[in-house]
Structure formats: C-alpha cells, structure tokens
A and B are shown apart, each in its own frame.
Chain A
Amino acid sequence: MAQIYYLQVLTIRADLLAAMVSHARADHPDEACGVIAGPSGSDRPERHIPMLNAARSPTFYEFDSGDLLALYRELDDKDEVPVVIYHSHTATEAYPSRTDVALAGEPDAHYVLISTRETGPEEGPFEFRSFRIADGVVTEEPVVVEGDPTH
C-alpha cells in the first residue's frame, strides 16, 4: 500500500485556530472535541466541524457513535478527511494523555490539544499544540498559523 509521509508540521488558518479555542472555552470545564476537515490527500485543514462530547466529562471525550458515522459519511461524500482531530484538556497540559495515545485511530491526522487550565472559559493565555500519534508513539510538530484571526 502506498504510504504518504507528510512534512511534520501543522499549517492552520488563524480563524480556524480561534474557532477551536473558542469551542474549548465554551465547553470548559468539560472537554471539547471536533474535527477540521480538508480535501483528501491535501493535508490542508479547511472546514471546522465542532462535535458534541458524548461523555460530557472534564476528563474524557468521545464522539457520539451516531454522530461519528454521520461525520465519516459526510467526509466520504465530499472526498474529505479529518485533517485535524482536536480536543481540550481543562485541568492539565496540552499533551496527549495515555488514554489519548491508546485510543488514537487516525495515524494520518494532526492531533491538536488545547488546554484551558489557565483561564477556563475566559479570554487569555491558552496552550495549543499539535501531535502525530501512530503506533503508540507521540511526535510533537510545529504549528504554523496563517492569516488574520478576524478573517
């Protein structure tokens, strides 16, 4: 099978980054989760799809199983993939937990972690980091932000 190796960097538009951070703040103290979809094979995150955290928990997240199927159907129909899969940590650092590593099922995705532990639902400093998680191995990658957040 052909395997595509991407440059180990997440390039993300500032407005999409801001949308993920807003979602994380809005759901604080529960974990927020979602996807930034992009064209298959492009490695370009373009479309923000906030998901409900079916676990509604400050320490766990899980896409609802029905929502998950609907999401993947929609992505397939549009020839898109989940380029970014993000979730928040609300009391700990923005680094994949052991559970995150054990359950990571998309080796080609950028796993984005946002921590709201500093300011909770308020504006202010936040942590935003991106990782590859494949075969139990976590590799952090740089984040390159493009454009104007008010775009």
Chain B
Amino acid sequence: MSVEVRVPTILRALTGGEKVVTASGDTLEAVVADLDGSYPGMGARLLDDSGLRRFVNIYVNDEDVRFLAGLQTQIADQDSITILPAVAGG
C-alpha cells in the first residue's frame, strides 16, 4: 500500500525538508517502520517502548489513530496520513 504522509516542521530535518513523503505498509506500524527505513530516526521520534508517543498525534484520513486501532490501524492504498506534535505543556 502506498500512502502519502504529511510531516510536521520539527521532523522535516529527517526528510531533507520534505513536507509530504511516500511510504508503504498494511498497518500504521508497518508504515512507521518503512518511514524509519527511509528516514532513519523517524521511528524513535514517533514511538517509545509503550507504542505511539503520548504527545505525537497521527491521523489516518483525518481520524486520530487513538480512536481507530492505534498502530494496528489498517492502511489502504491512497490513504493519507498526517503526523502532528501535540501542542501542549504545563
């Protein structure tokens, strides 16, 4: 499955400045692994030992994956994925 992934400003240092990149995978987990292969370091920015980082939001077709199946969310051809860091603090 080939999908477009929109990358936030703070992660564009890893993509050579590209705002939209292409990745593949049947699940979000596979897409993240594919991204990490193409852009080393991306995986660690998105995941920690317990899964998707608490303050990273990933949307599949505009739906927060926390309301879908998280990293197990199924990805279909032409889906669009958006990564946004949470805007949060104390």
Tell me which residues from 24 to 52 in chain A have a Cβ below 8 Å from any Cβ of chain B: 33, 35, 51
Is B90 in contact with A99, judged by CB distance below 8 angstroms? yes
Is A63 in contact with B88, judged by CB distance below 8 angstroms? yes
Is A65 in contact with B82, judged by CB distance below 8 angstroms? no
Is A60 in contact with B88, judged by CB distance below 8 angstroms? yes
- Contact among A2, A66, A85 with B87 in the assembled complex (CB-CB below 8 Å): A85
Report the interface size class on chain B: 20 to 34
Is A69 in contact with B55, judged by CB distance below 8 angstroms? no
Identify the B interface with A (CB < 8 A): 8-10, 12-13, 16-17, 55, 57, 59, 62, 64, 66, 82, 84-90
Q: A66-B64, A69-B59 are in contact. Are A105 and B85 (CB under 8 A)?
A: yes
Point out the residues of chain B lying under 8 angstroms from A107, CB to CB: 9-10
The binding surface of chain A is classed by DSSP as: mixed
Identify the A interface with B (CB < 8 A): 1-2, 33, 35, 51, 55, 59-63, 65-66, 68-69, 72, 82, 85, 87, 96-100, 103-108
B36 CB to closest chain A CB, in angstroms?
Answer: 19
Is B90 in contact with A65, judged by CB distance below 8 angstroms? no
Point out the residues of chain B lying under 8 angstroms from A59, CB to CB: 90
